Amino acid sequence: MSVRWRLALLACVLSGAMIIATFLALFFAVRNTLTGTLDASLRGAVSRRVDDVLRRDRPRGPVVIQRHLNPPITRLVPARPLPPDAALLVTFDPSGKVLAGTPPLRLPLREGFTRTGGYRVLTVRLPDGTWIRGYRSEAELLRSLEGVTRIFWIVAPAVLLLGLLGGYFLADRALRPVDAVTRLAGRIAASGRYAERVPLSPGRDEMARLTGTINAMLDRLGSLIERERAFALAAAHELRTPLAVIRARASLALERERDPAQYQDALREVRDVSDELAHLADRLMALARAGGPARREAVDLADVALEVSELHLMAATEREMRLEPDLGSAPTLGDGTALTLAASNLLQNAVRYGRRGGHIRICTRLEGAVAVLRVEDDGPGIPAADRERLLQPFQRGLGLQGSEGAGLGLALASAVAEQHGGQLRLDKATTGGLSAELQLPAVSEPEAETRSLASRANA
């Protein structure tokens, strides 16, 4: 069943509940009003008979007709008291024997109002023990209530039908913009034109929020698709270069007969280029994995920094560079392998692009709720205008050193930081070179251990 019909049925049910509640309130109000009118008429007739009896025989005490049992309520319909002669009056002696009148039915003598056998009955006892009883037929009251009931059965179906049609009309009006958005979103998905946008609904209602959210989602989706397309093109371009070198070197070696030493040189060059190709493939895989959820285990960035420092110590020594570790505890939660790879890329960039014979400072510390791993060199640095661009895959810096590498190191470190809920910030170091700072959410060491164990249990 469609949403329109569900809303229409809901409106029909609510209309039915309202008309039933209205009918019951009106029914009981009319009944109480007519009963009050009937009682007033009956009380007047009995009072006049009591007066007649007392004038013949002076009372030996006061006579009080109590006004109880269904007193008149606020009148919802006009009602004129019935004429006194419409009441049937009967007089009984103290023993219950009929003295005057013919009772339509026999009832025990008891003072007050009662309802039985289609009659409204009022009984009064005089001081000398005589009983006066008045009977009044409820036929007119019942006819009036039957009229109210007939009106209900006539009006109720019309109101239910009106509620059903009105609910469907309102639901249709409310859902038309949703249908338009659905059709447009379907066309965008089918055509792949993610630059197209849903028209914004005016105002600040639910439709305005829905269209705004869909457009924001399309913006994000279009950006991701463009990034993936650019990534694929750049990856293909980067892979073509080493493959072309391998093909050219192999073709050259096969052009004519060569001595074993020349074949060894060719194979050695092919091996070196293949190693570069494998390294590039590994980094591409790591970059792709960085887009997914990270494992959550206790990691201290000080341990990560120490490990990558030992890993790149030989490369730094070859360039006569001095590593200056300044390691303070910086616990966080994350994938230790991915964080080590990110830190290794930062230190590798510093070794590659830092000043020969200079020094590299690598430090870790807690700064409030942030765990920081910072690598600083005294090389040429990166201009502020290029820093954001170099966080994208396959982007190289300008100048002589821009031709080195595949342009994946900073992009990979940035992706790993975002995967862990942090960020990579590039700035100018105090030594004049580049400061690359990995910022991640910090946790206390006991909390890190607890959450790490919980993550392993859920894995």
Tell me the per-residue pLDDT of 160-169, one tens digit each, with 9 for 90 and over. Answer: 888 888 888 8
The SS3 of residue 311 is helix
296-313 pLDDT, tens digit per residue, is 788 999 999 999 898 888
CA 186 – CA 381 distance, rounded (Å): 48
Task: Report the mean per-residue pLDDT for the chain.
Answer: 77
- The per-residue pLDDT for 400 is 40
pLDDT digit string, tens, across residues 62-75: 444 444 433 333 23
How deeply is 47 buried, as exposed, middle or buried, from its count of CB atoms within 10 A (0-12, 13-18, 19+)?
Answer: middle
Bridge pairing between strands 359-367 and 331-334: unpaired
Q: What is the pLDDT at residue 331?
A: 92
pLDDT: is 212 or 325 the higher one?
A: 325
Of 133-142, 167-176, 393-402, the poorest mean pLDDT is in: 393-402
Spatial CB neighbours of 343, under 8 Å, sequence gap ≥ 6: 301, 304, 305, 308, 373, 375, 413, 438
* Length, in residues, of the chain: 459
Task: Work out the percent of the chain whose per-residue pLDDT is above 90.
Answer: 7
User: Nearest to residue 427, comparing CAs of 437, 419, 417, 418?
Assistant: 437
Taking 60 as the threshold, does the pLDDT of residue 41 lie above it?
yes
- Residues 84-107: pLDDT tens digits? 346 778 888 888 888 887 788 788
Q: Is the pLDDT of residue 225 over 90?
A: no
Reported as a single tens digit per residue, the pLDDT across 319-377 is: 889 999 999 999 999 888 888 888 888 998 888 888 888 899 999 999 889 999 999 99
In the chain, what is the straight-line distance between the N-terminal and C-terminal CA atoms, in Å? 41
- Tell whether the model's pLDDT for residue 383 goes beyond 90: no
Q: Which residues contact 330 (CB under 8 A, 6 or more apart)?
A: 300, 301, 302, 364, 365, 366, 371, 372, 373, 442
11 alpha-carbon distance from chain centroid: 25
List pLDDT tens digits, range 139-155. Answer: 888 888 888 888 888 88
- Tokens 């249709």 sit at which residue? 172
- Write out pLDDT tens, residues 415-445: 888 888 899 999 888 877 889 999 999 887 6
Go through the domains of the chain in sequence order and give each one's CATH number.
3-146 (3.30.450), 206-287 (1.10.287.130), 293-458 (3.30.565.10)
Please report the pLDDT score of residue 282 as a whole number.
67
Of these ranges, 83-97, 113-127, 210-224, 240-254, the one predicted with the greatest mean pLDDT is 113-127
Choice between 458 and 193, residue whose per-residue pLDDT is larger: 193
Distance separating alpha carbons of residues 444 and 333, to the nearest angstrom: 10
Q: What percent of the chain has pLDDT over 70?
A: 78
In this prediction, residues 264-288 reach a mean pLDDT of 73
